[in-house]
Structure 1
Amino acid sequence: MAATTSSAGKPATISGVEIVLESVTKRYPNQKQPAVDNVNLTIPAGEIVVFVGPSGCGKTTTMRMINRLIEPSSGTITIGGKDALSIDPNELRRGIGYSIQQAGLFPHLTIAKNVATVPGLIGWDKQKIKARTDEMLDLVGLDPDMYRDRYPRQLSGGQQQRVGVARALAADPPVLLMDEPFGAVDPITRGLLQDELMRLQSELGKTIVFVTHDFNEAVKLGDRIAVLGNQSAIMQYDTPEAILANPANDMVAGFVGADASLKQLTLTRVRDVDLIQCPTVTEGDSVDELRTLLAGRKRQWALILDDRGRPMRWVNPSHLAHASSLRGTGMPVGEVVSVQSTLQDALEALLAESTASTVATGSRGEYVGLITIDTLVSHLSSMREEHAHDHEEGDHKAVDAESNEVAR
């Protein structure tokens, strides 16, 4: 993030540090070929860098060598300018957050004790640990009073994953390693967790190394993506925009796929486009006044909001025909997207809605606007025009350079 253009938005502060891998190799006994061969990579401070590649290519092995859960056979790894191989492994790991698939929580410990694991190991006092635990639960969207004394089995998969992230961040590490952390949850929950991670990163500015086999997830989350081949050979290391526009080779193009233009929707957040507005009411408002308001509109839908401005139900003239009150009137709002969501998320939510639009909400779940198919089509058209203009400018510069060369 820092001075770069981030998929998740620039953080208010950067608390992460740079990670540098130089000639990092991992060989296992009785194997002819190394599992990871001569990786050279710089991960900038405060950015999300995503490792993506086929199963067995070495991406998880490469990531685990950063905190020495797997020891490198050769090469050097520096974290914030310090040689990771010169630090005691246990001390090193306590300074690096680690989040894995299915959260990896201790089933016999309460949620509070799970989150407090690393602060306890490094000697924080009880009051500081309690305050930090509550702060972390609140940060990941879990009410401390409701969840601190529960056990992992009493939480949903998505809630457990949030606790896993809270635990990884509890000791305020500069680096967070995430090994397919959202791979075991359903697609809707996965999208919400991705949005939550981007919101957290916008506040915290950690250095995050994220492993996934899902290229769409890589595009959504990554400031940079490292597309890895066999033995973690780096096929391309660049921003999502650059990789989508110019895949380095056939393998990378295979990851990008034929729907590259639709993947462009993953590069834009809901907060970055102009949202459409519709009439909003509360349950205490007048049915007659709403009926009159909708009668003069081309798009005859309104939203009923609760007392905190959160969307509850859609309502149209057919719902109002025999209604005497807005209480219980209309149909429930389906899947919503947040301002952190991508336009790709909005498209998926939109296709499931009978209203031909999806509701966008703010950080507290409050209604902020609507996204429609027209919103998405307009955005893709403007992106195509922008790319065509950039391509035309590039051609002109090439011609000018050739002309100057001839003149010399």
Structure 2
Amino acid sequence: MADRTVTSAEGATSIDGAVSGVEIELEKVTKRYPGTKDPAVNEFSMVVPAGKIVIFVGPSGCGKTTTMRMINRLIEPTSGRITIGGEDALKLNADTLRRKIGYAIQQAGLFPHFTVEQNIAVVPGLLGWDKKRVEARVEEMMDLVGLDPKEFHGRYPRQLSGGQQQRVGVARALAADPPVLLMDEPFGAVDPITRGNLQDELLRLQTELKKTIVFVTHDFDEAVKLGDKIAVLGNQSSILQYDSPDAILANPANDTVAGFVGAGASLKQLTLLRVRDVELKTDVPTAKEDESPAAVREQLVKRGKHFVLVLDSRNRPSRWVHTRELGTAATMATAGRPLGDLVSLQSTLQDALEAMLAEGGGVPVTGPRGEYAGVIELDTVMSTIQKIREEHADDHQEEDQS
């Protein structure tokens, strides 16, 4: 479908009503705090492309969060100019501006005495949406971030895991369909596996929504995984390098940037490659939860297979079952063992490798809405690693000869 472009902070609205991202431009933006000699942020200039994820990465205290918060004026700039979709952000009412910009932070920042539904509905309510529209949007957002509305609708934040809270935080940030999303270390307080899953979820959402996202982190690996572009920042938010992840990995601008890249740059290439970039195994036996265990067992025996992957009513992988477990199983929905780690087409090969090491074998891969897409196997990832190493060895040989 063709898009109708609106040159404003409202974003570009397509025929189906979805709002995509807009360009953000910061021109010589400075922040000085009273009583300090040097500015916290000094003449920061950058163009954030529409519909892309731009990562601010740098050491603690360098000014990256301050810079990001000036975009929605949670911190007021001392001087400079900020435009969002061509509109001067500093001339808008600050509350009006913030309602047009999604904001997600570490530990979600949910209102503890609001239910999941009430938390997600906050900004649409402030914007005066009618009750039916708000209810429909809440359900849509919960489904989008992978939370069953029937199960989580009335829960309170204290009744959710850390990862579930972060999903609600992202749903709340997106509820009013803003063109811009600011994310301040949103996944920093959860365990590594949950963090990887949330990163995958963000990438999945972005393929559908095409928002303009500014994301702050101190984790360079996270920056490489998520960013279309990375801004490596130094003191006072000075831009040490602003480029694509592969360009920064290949050619760090200086020693400071090289320090962020760290050792094992070649293995970091696994973070640039996605599961969608490699071949998946698609001949793994599958069965639906409502099928007869005896019939499934008969088919496995005919094919000489020992395992079957069970899919739910929405075609999402749920369990592995061995043939010996089918003889006594009452239903496919309860047979075998629930899946541990899953990866999506958006996951990196590094994520896939870690999941396979945890699971001890191939791992099911899911598509845009959690549907089964195939299985990724260890041999596939290992052959890709070998290819990367050979390419880097060739590169080093060419450098030595030149």
Gaps of 5+ in 1: 1-11, 295-299, 400-408
- Which whole-Å CA distance do the structure 2 matches of 1:116 and 1:281 have between them? 39
Q: Which amino acid aligns with 2:189?
A: A
Residue in structure 1 matched with residue 262 of structure 2 by the alignment: 257
1:116–1:133 contact (8 Å) kept in structure 2: yes
Residue in structure 1 matched with residue 237 of structure 2 by the alignment: 232
1:287–1:325 contact (8 Å) kept in structure 2: no
1:24–1:37 contact (8 Å) kept in structure 2: yes
Residue 343 in 1 paired to residue 349 in 2?
Answer: yes
Where do 1:72-111 residues align within 5 Å? Answer: 72-111=77-116
- Which whole-Å CA distance do the structure 2 matches of 1:222 and 1:171 have between them? 24
- Which whole-Å CA distance do the structure 1 matches of 2:320 and 2:130 have between them? 50
1:90-129 per-position Cα deviation (integer Å, ceiling 9, x unaligned): 1111111111111111112222221111112122222222
Alpha-carbon spacing, 1:15–1:389, altered in 2? closer, same or farther (3 Å): farther
Alpha-carbon spacing, 1:301–1:222, altered in 2? closer, same or farther (3 Å): farther
Q: Helix, strand or coil: the match of 2:294?
A: coil
Alpha-carbon spacing, 1:254–1:393, altered in 2? closer, same or farther (3 Å): closer
Q: 1:71 aligns with which of 58, 73, 76?
A: 76
Q: Which amino acid aligns with 1:375?
A: T
Computing the radius of gyration from Cα coordinates, the structure with the larger value is: 1
Gaps of 5+ in 2: 1-13, 288-292
The alignment covers a number of residue pairs equal to 376
Alpha-carbon spacing, 1:348–1:35, altered in 2? closer, same or farther (3 Å): same
Residue in structure 2 matched with residue 221 of structure 1 by the alignment: 226
Q: Which amino acid aligns with 1:139?
A: L
- Which whole-Å CA distance do the structure 2 matches of 1:148 and 1:364 have between them? 20
Residue 62 in 1 paired to residue 64 in 2?
Answer: no
2:284–2:375 contact (8 Å) kept in structure 1: no
Alpha-carbon spacing, 1:291–1:252, altered in 2? closer, same or farther (3 Å): same
Q: Which amino acid aligns with 1:348?
A: E
- Which whole-Å CA distance do the structure 2 matches of 1:164 and 1:23 have between them? 31
Q: Which amino acid aligns with 1:350?
A: M
Alpha-carbon spacing, 1:281–1:143, altered in 2? closer, same or farther (3 Å): closer
1:17–1:206 contact (8 Å) kept in structure 2: yes
Q: Helix, strand or coil: the match of 1:98?
A: strand
Residue 268 in 1 paired to residue 278 in 2?
Answer: no
Residue in structure 2 matched with residue 290 of structure 1 by the alignment: 300
Where do 1:130-279 residues align within 5 Å? Answer: 130-277=135-282, 279=284
Residue in structure 2 matched with residue 352 of structure 1 by the alignment: 358
Q: Which amino acid aligns with 2:379?
A: D
Alpha-carbon spacing, 1:323–1:50, altered in 2? closer, same or farther (3 Å): closer
Identity %: 66
Q: Helix, strand or coil: the match of 1:284?
A: helix
Residue in structure 1 matched with residue 6 of structure 2 by the alignment: none
Q: Helix, strand or coil: the match of 2:28?
A: strand
1:262-301 per-position Cα deviation (integer Å, ceiling 9, x unaligned): 111111211221013454154334546635644xxxxx75
How far did 1:363 drift? Answer: 3.8
Q: 2:45 aligns with which of 40, 43, 64?
A: 40
- Which whole-Å CA distance do the structure 2 matches of 1:363 and 1:171 have between them? 22
- Which whole-Å CA distance do the structure 1 matches of 2:326 and 2:229 have between them? 53
2:19–2:178 contact (8 Å) kept in structure 1: no
How far did 1:331 drift? Answer: 5.3
TM-score by length of 2: 0.85
Alpha-carbon spacing, 1:307–1:146, altered in 2? closer, same or farther (3 Å): closer
- Which whole-Å CA distance do the structure 2 matches of 1:383 and 1:130 have between them? 49
Residue in structure 2 matched with residue 115 of structure 1 by the alignment: 120
Alpha-carbon spacing, 1:250–1:306, altered in 2? closer, same or farther (3 Å): same
2:54–2:214 contact (8 Å) kept in structure 1: yes
1:286–1:325 contact (8 Å) kept in structure 2: no
1:323-379 per-position Cα deviation (integer Å, ceiling 9, x unaligned): 74566775554312112211110011111122x332223345444322233212322
Q: Helix, strand or coil: the match of 1:359?
A: strand
1:17–1:46 contact (8 Å) kept in structure 2: yes
Residue 362 in 1 paired to residue 367 in 2?
Answer: yes
